[in-house]
């Protein structure tokens, strides 16, 4: 079976979605009887009326010599094909939830509102023709139902290198991986730690979104006198290093604001058998992070400090919640084998 | 410079049209450029052709890169102030093949309208570009004849030419390419029944159809040439190819009316071998000069046999022609440095 994966591309930019698409193609090619290739369509989303042309591009293209299409993003998934499966990472959010939240560039004027209506119409027509629709998380799934009235199944993107997250010793530190950004609120973690003089150490490792936030964290550590207890490792790190930090941590922490999905950082922690500390407004994580598999606190330094203490002051409790996290994740069977099987169904 | 390489593909079909793009990509990166390659699907079904080209025409890469290098049709219709073409061929059924049995569609009002539209929009889009290069003089002449546009041949080098080396001259005329009727392996076998010297012929490559492969084997047997014709109907690795060419007496490449000189000729030249071709081989004649770096035969078995004998009988002449083959590449500037320089200037 010839399986074509179609995705958008902003030329010269790469992120998680690109990694996922490449990995999906590799896994498909490793499946007996399957040949796979990725097609990336350059995408320009501004100004608003440009989106009409982008949709026309997708609708005008043809996919010869292909048995099955797996579409990942708008508008690339609009390319016509008789056997199309969608694996939605997200919709074009400016036409949906971001518009509802008053954060969309499509709500400034009449043109924008027309474009928004056109996007919804094109989406609805496409969804009606798909063989099957999967979403990467319940958040995406709920939005699709709410805005388009379309039912779908959740298909979590597995870790691309899950074999690295084997678990290990339970050390004396909490590991906070992922992008370092105001929206991921690493500053809250540092502030919470300051309230626990006998608490654990903290390692923060990841690429900073901007230098200003990195500076803010450096100053905070300095001002709170936490230099001995907080290790700031800004930058891109080899995956092996990330895995080592996660595998030997006592617990992991991840405090994004209203994330769409469970998130790779959470999946990695669960795979490694580590309990996860998060906050009540972290969104998609709350599907799996609870007081059974970690700790959930209000997004304030005091509440976080209390949760951190609850989670780490008793090693036995941390270990048992970590075990529960690992079991829960295993039982979800989020593996590439199962994922490929469902996409080819 | 940020450079986008843009070409069309039929998904899951690999071949020369992709190789040239990917080899260039490697060379541009080596030269310090940032490169992003896009392959978009395209079918040349007459009923699908115009709306697909309209979709490509809507693409606007202006904000993403400093330059676009366009290859197969209809990549050159894309919007960018700095597009450069390395034009490999037209959609030939609507051009030079229209008045031949290979047109593949009726010559009626509807299809003539598609043809005339295609030619008009090709002319307009190609004329927008900053520079137009072709892979041969034949194709440049065609652009002049059909579109009234001037273009400069920019000869495609082979990948890593240093792999091909020279170790003297044996008894074998070597012809490595796909085994298919228009490459005329049959003509070479026929010629072998008329040779007077102990010259041998080695034909190697994958048959385009099992039937043609069997036909060649049968022909060799029927003419009693098993001891003089070595026929290998299989994929030949690059290493094997270099091995076969190293000690060859000469190479033979005599396709029927091909656009370009063909990679087998270049591989022979890099291994310092004379090239045998025919008067009706098209682009090969841009490379080969009779008696200087090879021999040009009539497409007739008896004449071809004489050329084979002439090479076998005079090793000194063979060595001189082999050296001239190499010199001819320098003369025609067939090298990656030239390609990179011209496409980025």
Give residue-wise pLDDT tens across range B128-151: 999 999 999 999 999 999 999 999
Number of domains, chain A: 2
| Residues 6 or more apart whose Cβ sits within 8 Å of residue B100 | none
Q: Is residue A339 part of a domain?
A: no
> What's the confidence (pLDDT) of residue A196?
96
Q: Over chain A (345 residues), what is each successive 10-residue block's mean pLDDT?
A: 96 87 96 97 93 97 97 97 95 92 89 96 97 93 96 94 94 95 95 96 94 96 96 95 97 93 93 97 93 97 97 95 96 94 96
* B chain contacts of residue A47, beta-carbon cutoff 8 Å: none
A99 and A191 both lie in a single domain? no
Residue B120 to residue B318: CA distance in whole angstroms: 49
First and final CA of chain B: distance in angstroms? 11
Q: Which of A119, A136, A155 is the last residue of a domain?
A: A155
Query: ω before B184 within 30° of 0 (cis)?
Result: no
A134 and A266 both lie in a single domain? no
Q: Which of A120, A155, A190 is the last residue of a domain?
A: A155
Choose the closest CB to B41 out of A12, A56, A61.
A61
Least Cα separation, residue B35 to chain A (angstroms): 8
A273 and A192 both lie in a single domain? yes
CATH topology of domain B2-154: Rossmann fold (3.40.50)
Least Cα separation, residue A140 to chain B (angstroms): 28
Give residue-wise pLDDT tens across range A45-75: 989 999 999 999 999 999 999 999 999 999 9
Residue A80 to residue A317: CA distance in whole angstroms: 53
* A chain contacts of residue B42, beta-carbon cutoff 8 Å: 62, 64
Least Cα separation, residue A58 to chain B (angstroms): 7
| CATH code at position A18 | 3.40.50
A171 and A233 both lie in a single domain? yes
- Exposed e or buried b for every residue in A137-148, given b needs 16+ CB within 10 A? bbbbbebbeebb
* B chain contacts of residue A41, beta-carbon cutoff 8 Å: 38, 40
Contact between B156 and B339 (Cβ < 8 Å): yes
Q: Could you report the predicted ipTM of this complex, rounded to two decimals?
A: 0.88
> Quick one: DSSP state of residue B116?
H
Q: Which of B109, B77, B92 is nearest to B6 (CA)?
A: B77
A95 and A20 both lie in a single domain? yes
pLDDT-derived band at B208, boundaries 50, 70, 90? confident
Quickly tell me which residue has 């003509």 as its tokens: B187
Query: In whole numbers, what is the pLDDT of chain B averaged over residues?
Result: 96
Least Cα separation, residue A288 to chain B (angstroms): 38
- The total of other beta-carbon atoms located within 10 Å of residue B332's CB is 15
Residue A115 to residue B207: CA distance in whole angstroms: 53
A180 and A307 both lie in a single domain? yes
* B chain contacts of residue A2, beta-carbon cutoff 8 Å: 11-12
> What's the confidence (pLDDT) of residue A12?
93
Q: Which of B149, B333, B168, B330 is nearest to B246 (CA)?
A: B168
pLDDT-derived band at B222, boundaries 50, 70, 90? very high
Q: Which of A179, A185, A139, A173 is nearest to A303 (CA)?
A: A185
Whole domain around residue A132: which residue ranges? 2-155
Q: Which of A102, A137, A155 is the last residue of a domain?
A: A155
A247 and A176 both lie in a single domain? yes
Is there a contact between A10 and B64 if contact means CB atoms under 8 Å apart?
Answer: yes
Is there a contact between A2 and B54 if contact means CB atoms under 8 Å apart?
Answer: no
> What's the confidence (pLDDT) of residue A57?
98
What residues does each domain of chain B span? 2-154, 161-331
> What's the confidence (pLDDT) of residue A25?
98
* A chain contacts of residue B51, beta-carbon cutoff 8 Å: 60
> What's the confidence (pLDDT) of residue A49?
93
Give residue-wise pLDDT tens across range B34-82: 999 999 999 999 999 999 999 999 999 999 999 999 999 999 999 999 9
Q: Is residue A338 part of a domain?
A: no
CB pairs < 8 Å spanning A and B: 80
> What's the confidence (pLDDT) of residue B121?
97
Q: Is residue A340 part of a domain?
A: no
Minimal-distance CA residue of chain A relative to B51 = A60
What percent of chain A stands above pLDDT 70?
A: 100
Is there a contact between B41 and A12 if contact means CB atoms under 8 Å apart?
Answer: no
Q: Is residue A343 part of a domain?
A: no
What is the SS3 assignment for A249? coil
pLDDT-derived band at B15, boundaries 50, 70, 90? confident
Give residue-wise pLDDT tens across range B237-292: 999 999 999 999 999 999 998 888 999 999 999 999 999 999 999 999 999 999 99
- The total of other beta-carbon atoms located within 10 Å of residue B316's CB is 8
Is there a contact between A56 and B10 if contact means CB atoms under 8 Å apart?
Answer: no
Same fold, B2-154 and B161-331: yes
Q: Which of B193, B166, B177 is nearest to B270 (CA)?
A: B166
Q: Is residue A121 part of a domain?
A: yes
Is there a contact between A53 and B38 if contact means CB atoms under 8 Å apart?
Answer: no
Tokens of A307: 């949760």
Q: Mutating which of A57, A68, A84 best tests the B interface, going by the most B Cβ atoms within 10 A? A: A57
Least Cα separation, residue B9 to chain A (angstroms): 9
Quickly tell me which residue has 């606007």 as its tokens: B60
Least Cα separation, residue B138 to chain A (angstroms): 29
| CATH code at position A211 | 3.40.50.2000
Q: Is residue A80 part of a domain?
A: yes
Choose the closest CB to B63 out of A44, A56, A66.
A44
A262 and A320 both lie in a single domain? yes
HSE-up of residue A160 (Cα within 13 Å, Cβ side): 15
A137 and A166 both lie in a single domain? no
> What's the confidence (pLDDT) of residue A211?
94
A90 and A176 both lie in a single domain? no
> What's the confidence (pLDDT) of residue A285?
93
Flag whether pLDDT at B16 surpasses 80.
no
Supply the CATH classification number for the domain B161-331.
3.40.50.2000
Choose the closest CB to B40 out of A2, A41, A65.
A41
């Amino acid at each position: 079976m010839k399986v074509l994966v179609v995705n958008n591309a902003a030329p010269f930019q790469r992120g998680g979605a690109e990694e996922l698409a490449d990995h999906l193609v590799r896994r498909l090619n490793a499946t007996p009887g399957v040949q796979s290739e990725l097609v990336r369509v350059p995408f320009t989303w501004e100004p608003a009326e440009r989106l009409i042309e982008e949709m026309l591009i997708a609708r005008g293209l043809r996919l010869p010599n292909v048995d099955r299409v797996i579409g990942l993003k708008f508008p690339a998934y609009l390319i016509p094909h008789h056997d199309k499966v969608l694996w939605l990472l997200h919709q074009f959010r400016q036409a949906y939830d971001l518009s509802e939240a008053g954060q969309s560039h499509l709500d400034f004027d009449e043109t924008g509102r027309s474009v928004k209506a056109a996007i919804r119409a094109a989406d609805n027509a496409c969804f009606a023709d798909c063989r099957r629709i999967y979403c990467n998380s319940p958040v995406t799934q709920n939005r699709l139902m709410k805005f388009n009235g379309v039912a779908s199944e959740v298909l979590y993107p597995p870790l691309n290198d899950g074999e690295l997250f084997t678990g290990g010793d339970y050390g004396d530190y909490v590991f906070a991986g992922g992008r370092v950004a105001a929206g991921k609120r690493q500053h809250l973690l540092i502030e919470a730690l300051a309230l626990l003089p006998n608490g654990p150490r903290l390692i923060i490792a990841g690429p900073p979104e901007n230098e200003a936030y990195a500076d803010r964290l450096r100053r905070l550590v300095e001002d709170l006198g936490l230099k001995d207890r907080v290790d700031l490792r800004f930058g891109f790190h080899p995956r092996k290093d990330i895995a080592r930090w996660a595998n030997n941590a006592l617990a992991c922490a991840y405090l994004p604001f209203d994330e769409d999905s469970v998130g790779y950082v959470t999946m990695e922690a669960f795979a490694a058998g580590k309990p996860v500390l998060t906050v009540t407004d972290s969104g998609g994580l709350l599907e799996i992070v609870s007081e059974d598999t970690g700790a959930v606190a209000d997004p304030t330094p005091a509440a976080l400090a209390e949760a951190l203490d609850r989670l780490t002051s008793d090693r036995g409790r941390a270990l048992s919640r970590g075990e529960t996290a690992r079991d829960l994740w295993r039982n979800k069977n989020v593996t590439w084998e199962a994922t490929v099987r469902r996409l080819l169904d | 410079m940020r450079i986008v390489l843009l070409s069309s593909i039929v998904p899951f079909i690999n071949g020369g049209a992709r190789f040239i793009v990917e080899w260039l990509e490697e060379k541009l990166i080596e030269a310090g450029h940032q490169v992003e390659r896009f392959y978009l699907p395209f079918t040349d079904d007459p009923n699908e052709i115009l709306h697909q080209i309209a979709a490509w025409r809507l693409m606007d890469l202006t904000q993403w890169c400093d330059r676009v290098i366009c290859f197969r049709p209809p990549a050159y219709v894309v919007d960018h102030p700095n597009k450069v073409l390395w034009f490999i061929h037209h959609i030939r059924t609507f051009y030079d093949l229209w008045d031949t049995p290979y047109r593949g569609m009726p010559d009626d009002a509807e299809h003539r309208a598609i043809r005339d539209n295609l030619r008009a929009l090709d002319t307009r889009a190609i004329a927008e570009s900053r520079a137009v290069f072709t892979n041969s003089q034949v194709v440049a002449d065609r652009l002049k004849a059909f579109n009234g546009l001037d273009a400069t041949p920019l000869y495609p080098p082979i990948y890593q030419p240093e792999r091909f080396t020279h170790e003297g001259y044996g008894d074998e005329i070597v012809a490595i390419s796909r085994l298919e009727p228009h490459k005329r392996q049959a003509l070479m076998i026929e010629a072998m029944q008329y040779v007077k010297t102990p010259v041998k012929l080695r034909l190697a490559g994958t048959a385009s159809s099992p039937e043609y492969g069997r036909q060649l084997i049968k022909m060799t047997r029927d003419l009693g040439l098993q001891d003089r014709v070595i026929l290998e109907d299989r994929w030949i690795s690059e290493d094997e190819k270099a091995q076969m060419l190293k000690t060859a007496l000469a190479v033979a490449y005599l396709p029927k009316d091909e656009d370009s000189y063909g990679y087998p000729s270049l591989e022979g030249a890099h291994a310092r071998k004379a090239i045998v071709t025919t008067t009706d081989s098209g682009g090969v004649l841009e490379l080969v000069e009779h008696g200087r770096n090879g021999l040009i035969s009539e497409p007739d078995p008896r004449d071809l046999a004489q050329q084979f004998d002439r090479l076998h009988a005079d090793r000194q002449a063979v060595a001189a022609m082999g050296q001239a083959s190499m010199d001819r590449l320098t003369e025609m500037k067939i090298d990656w440095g030239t390609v990179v320089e011209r496409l980025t200037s």
